Structure 1
């Protein structure tokens, strides 16, 4: 590995020294590279036959920035001295103040420290497709090699260097930086699936996909596929529904154009790839079907029985269900090996997560093909096991329930939303429910109750909201009022519904609201989520804890700067979480009862994210 990390120099007859950074795949600034640059620049400046210097990167990429693996070592050891120094000696002294002209020849990537190298040169030349940027802030650090150009102008060069090397060395060991670096690597690791991506399988070419159902989810999925240059057949049950679905897709594409993420030419191309259908006649040559109808088991079973008969034998049979067991959906077919879950998150053409759900019978080829499709349509695929709610919705089912339990105890729901938003979530659980609509919540209510037993908190709040004509954002009336062009505002009239809900719940001690701090409220919402995540990990629903971290960030909006759900929970500590849940379980019941996985980690002191020991794994396999 170290042999492929090097800096080379060639001196031409014209006196130009060509210095090349080589560290596949993106020529990252590993310490070996930085030392190599210093060595080659010193040599070029000293040689009489060198008149000028050109700096570039190998294989069509200038430099993708600092090697983030070094950040991980800093986080592990807390030793910032292992960070290589490049800003003063290399960029300032050798390049910027060098007596020989230095030119950066940029192609491909010039990011972070790579871009800072180009700014240290006397001139730059770039290909039209070159990508330039300083993305360090997404990892919780600032550019550490002179990238903050305005600072020297304000306070002078010596002070600026001192400051940059010091808001950098402090930030790089901060919890925020550790969290963001963890999230970065977590996202990169999701496509490493043992038994699928490591067995020399090649992905098949998915050229044409049928989407069944043109509602909110189906139209969003179709939009994502079309933007990815994949042909789509959209099937609906009647012309009116089909026309509505096609109109929604067109609106989605127009929205992408307005945001600048799609050109008008590409929009026209995408629309040309869409075909409507009212039957299965156009399914004879599709490579994949994605069913996206309402959450009704008999309907989904009927659809899968039909498409198995008409689709070609290689066709992947996928469902967008967010809750229902895949074995139940496909039990009336003979094609369990190509049955798979393709769970998108709403709005499907914007949200980046794709939860790929496999059963024990799903073939590695089908999983690999769906991972590949996910990449093509710019989604982050996370492969998970089959269970009620799968990884994300199962982990977060206590999120809304915990908030509703708090309301039943007399806590103001708008206060709950404010606390959760201040924590870093895009919105609180009640506004989120308004946005998602009440239909899905009502549809899965009984499914969750049957699957999770006494740890399910049975609430009639959504039922009461629906009974009073409230549907959330879709009809402008939910917990909040929604008016076009205005921010959502709390609806004071919803208090009548809350009062009735509390009357039926009868959970307030003595009929009086309980007194809780903001921290209590935050923990009573999120600790049950962590508890369920422990069960998800214990049952091997996810491959690694980091998958649950990135899924929580991309699927539920958990703040990225906190590293994801499990990373954050480990910063809080399993022992503390266990003690609080145990206390609440005595007061309020099994909804808060700690899982055996959490209890074991609390007693042993091992992080929640740590893999099981060999002894624990063997004990688990005998259970």
Structure 2
């Protein structure tokens, strides 16, 4: 079947595109559109409609063609053919019109869309910018400020929003073809002109003074170190200063620069990594799953309440179990407050908030969980407490119910051992705040069945999470790697760095937050309490926690007490350095016989990042992660690792495993083998001149 078909309906030509599953702009589709527009110039049609079959309008470029030799006609040539048509061309949009697909629509002379449709230019999420006129046409229709927000965020908008921004001319309620034909008939009857967006002039006087500089500064905070967002601003600025064709040339130059950049390569890696993470090795595609129509959650604290919101947002009823009515009321009040914050940000309507809240009910009676399909335990990190919870659930919950723990590091099998259904036990490790963070570590126990695993992975999609399967070990993937990362931060403090230096180095490199500030945000008492339950041997070298312990014992627990490694303003939470902390650090260094020195920024960066990589390699050796890219997904979505660096394992490949290995050997010689013994896998790959990526290819 041809990807492009053409028919005349009266005097209106309808060009139908059909390139399943998402009508991506493949070479065949581009060629078909170009030919149909060209030939329609000579027939009896008075207007043309561009319409897509299937579930969506053109959803974007064919990403599988990235890196391959280009084939004519290029997208820009197709767009020129559409724009130069002497008959009005109307884009009829349903589903999503994204990236190059929306650029095609912008080249049309008019646009209509179903009210359920969404449009957008998400290229920035792949480290790119719209390369076929998106940065030049969007500000001409929507205005400069709106274009800056739309294109640098990359987020799609509804048809109604697009109409209000003048990106869509008509929103259609039901039948798209019928509505598009009626719209075309109106245009023909009133002899509407061929309206080319390129001909719209942007009045420089309409642009607020300093707008572009101000927006660049905002991006320096929101998209620190990223190339594409800043280039997008430059392109939109060019649309206000240059003739259209010169603006297009500028856009194309910067698009190519982005396309060839390390950042775009890393973000494209993350795009595919996220999709690979959902594929479970050895799990048959036809593995049955269980329906999850109701959920129970044990513990209504910050984590439990956030988890409840995920299910309510997906229209799944939740029973939230707390110890008494007062605790239930507190939990529901916090959930209500969180929804109100989202409303104020325009992320949901009052009706959506009301509906979601109606799906969350509190109870102090475990017996009310007898018929739920899934229970998630989210209590304090105590094995004894968790085992008590699961023993009770085992007696109450119906056969076939999945029992999950939200533990961050406890042994899943030990928890499952107190039940008579270990095959139905699994880890579902959410990340805080659970209603915001996208990552979900799905932790398989030794007896977790394929059905339970498949159900958990499918459920993640239902609640809009990015799932990664992890094996059962202390800390799983993310927190196991976090230990050496945090260890090196503590040792750098002891050896001569300041909290501010460490955080600045890591944030400047691209981490969402530095490790010291993260400790203050999470609360220093959490780690302190966890260490109290460990033996001296389990705690390890006191150098790795002595500073944190000293601060906790001084009552400095972090942001919640107004003081931790930093001091915090009681109203704004703005942080400032505190000489008292520097004195504590120096005293601990002296007590442990550590001679302090000036530590170069590069050493701090390498010690923290290479510690992650080395532990990641061990995780691969142990079979805890299925593939290196799964580790990258965990760190990008759960721990603030900069996606434009591609995750720790991709970053290691990019800079070369030999360099990583040699540096780790240097650290081993300087700081001891206890912390810096190179992973055998890393050592072997480095010596063979290979990468983690081609190692995993060998395992497939």
TM > 0.5 fold call? yes
For residue 387 of structure 2, the aligned residue among 294, 301, 307 is 301
1:90 aligns with 2:78: yes
Partner of 1:136: 123
Cα deviation code 1:405-456 (max 9, x no counterpart): 1011111121011100101111110100111112332344478989989799
3-state SS, counterpart of residue 278 of structure 2:
coil
Separation (CA, whole Å) in 2 of partners of 1:447 and 1:28: 55
- 493-502 vs 107-116, which moves further: 493-502
Separation (CA, whole Å) in 1 of partners of 2:503 and 2:25: 43
- Change in Cα spacing, 1:58 to 1:322, as seen in structure 2 (3 Å) is same
- Change in Cα spacing, 1:449 to 1:177, as seen in structure 2 (3 Å) is farther
1:600 aligns with 2:684: yes
Separation (CA, whole Å) in 1 of partners of 2:412 and 2:45: 67
Partner of 1:172: 259
3-state SS, counterpart of residue 611 of structure 1:
helix
For residue 411 of structure 2, the aligned residue among 325, 329, 336 is 325
Partner of 1:428: 514
- Change in Cα spacing, 1:153 to 1:404, as seen in structure 2 (3 Å) is closer
Partner of 1:32: 28
Separation (CA, whole Å) in 1 of partners of 2:240 and 2:508: 36
- Change in Cα spacing, 1:468 to 1:66, as seen in structure 2 (3 Å) is same
Separation (CA, whole Å) in 1 of partners of 2:401 and 2:526: 28
- Change in Cα spacing, 1:211 to 1:170, as seen in structure 2 (3 Å) is same
Separation (CA, whole Å) in 2 of partners of 1:165 and 1:276: 56
Cα deviation code 1:129-184 (max 9, x no counterpart): 21111111111111111112154553224433333333122221211110111111
Equivalent residues in 2 for 1:300-379 (5 A)? 300-379=386-465
For residue 548 of structure 1, the aligned residue among 622, 628, 631 is 631
- 544-553 vs 434-443, which moves further: 434-443
Separation (CA, whole Å) in 1 of partners of 2:261 and 2:617: 26
For residue 49 of structure 1, the aligned residue among 29, 44, 49 is 44
Separation (CA, whole Å) in 1 of partners of 2:608 and 2:692: 19
Partner of 1:570: 653
Cα deviation code 1:330-369 (max 9, x no counterpart): 2122211011001001111111111110022101111122
Cα deviation code 1:251-292 (max 9, x no counterpart): 222222222222211211222222222221101111111111
3-state SS, counterpart of residue 124 of structure 1:
strand
- Maintained 8 Å contact 1:456/1:591: no
* Structure 1 residue 459: Cα displacement: 2.3
For residue 227 of structure 1, the aligned residue among 313, 332, 335 is 313
For residue 201 of structure 1, the aligned residue among 271, 287, 306 is 287
- Change in Cα spacing, 1:88 to 1:369, as seen in structure 2 (3 Å) is closer
Partner of 1:620: none
1:11 aligns with 2:8: yes
1:103 aligns with 2:90: yes
Partner of 2:111: 124
* Structure 1 residue 211: Cα displacement: 0.8
Separation (CA, whole Å) in 1 of partners of 2:533 and 2:11: 75
Equivalent residues in 2 for 1:335-484 (5 A)? 335-445=421-531, 458-482=544-568, 483-484=570-571
Separation (CA, whole Å) in 2 of partners of 1:556 and 1:457: 24
- Change in Cα spacing, 1:256 to 1:585, as seen in structure 2 (3 Å) is same
Q: TM-score, normalised by structure 2?
A: 0.82
Equivalent residues in 2 for 1:255-270 (5 A)? 255-270=341-356
- Change in Cα spacing, 1:21 to 1:60, as seen in structure 2 (3 Å) is same
Partner of 1:253: 339
Q: Please, what is the CA RMSD of the aligned residues? A: 2.2
* Structure 1 residue 559: Cα displacement: 0.4
Partner of 2:302: 216
Cα deviation code 1:527-561 (max 9, x no counterpart): 11110000111112111211111111000010011
Separation (CA, whole Å) in 1 of partners of 2:630 and 2:86: 51
Partner of 1:65: 60
Separation (CA, whole Å) in 1 of partners of 2:416 and 2:670: 42
Equivalent residues in 2 for 1:500-511 (5 A)? 500-508=587-595
1:585 aligns with 2:668: yes
Separation (CA, whole Å) in 1 of partners of 2:38 and 2:333: 63
Separation (CA, whole Å) in 1 of partners of 2:670 and 2:593: 14
Separation (CA, whole Å) in 2 of partners of 1:212 and 1:59: 43
- Change in Cα spacing, 1:553 to 1:607, as seen in structure 2 (3 Å) is same
* Structure 1 residue 471: Cα displacement: 1.1
Partner of 1:610: 694
* Structure 1 residue 110: Cα displacement: 0.8
- Maintained 8 Å contact 1:407/1:413: yes
Separation (CA, whole Å) in 2 of partners of 1:451 and 1:174: 46
Cα deviation code 1:22-70 (max 9, x no counterpart): 2222211112211111122222123x33332110111241111111111
Separation (CA, whole Å) in 2 of partners of 1:309 and 1:496: 54
Separation (CA, whole Å) in 2 of partners of 1:341 and 1:168: 43
- Maintained 8 Å contact 1:27/1:64: yes
- Change in Cα spacing, 1:85 to 1:434, as seen in structure 2 (3 Å) is farther
Separation (CA, whole Å) in 2 of partners of 1:571 and 1:139: 17
Q: TM-score, normalised by structure 1?
A: 0.91
For residue 517 of structure 1, the aligned residue among 600, 603, 608 is 600
Segments of 5+ residues of structure 1 without an aligned counterpart are 618-623
* Structure 1 residue 492: Cα displacement: 2.8
3-state SS, counterpart of residue 395 of structure 1:
helix
3-state SS, counterpart of residue 428 of structure 2:
strand
Separation (CA, whole Å) in 1 of partners of 2:256 and 2:271: 19
Separation (CA, whole Å) in 2 of partners of 1:476 and 1:39: 67
Separation (CA, whole Å) in 2 of partners of 1:57 and 1:403: 54
- Maintained 8 Å contact 1:449/1:458: no
Separation (CA, whole Å) in 2 of partners of 1:355 and 1:558: 16
- Change in Cα spacing, 1:227 to 1:571, as seen in structure 2 (3 Å) is same
Partner of 1:621: none
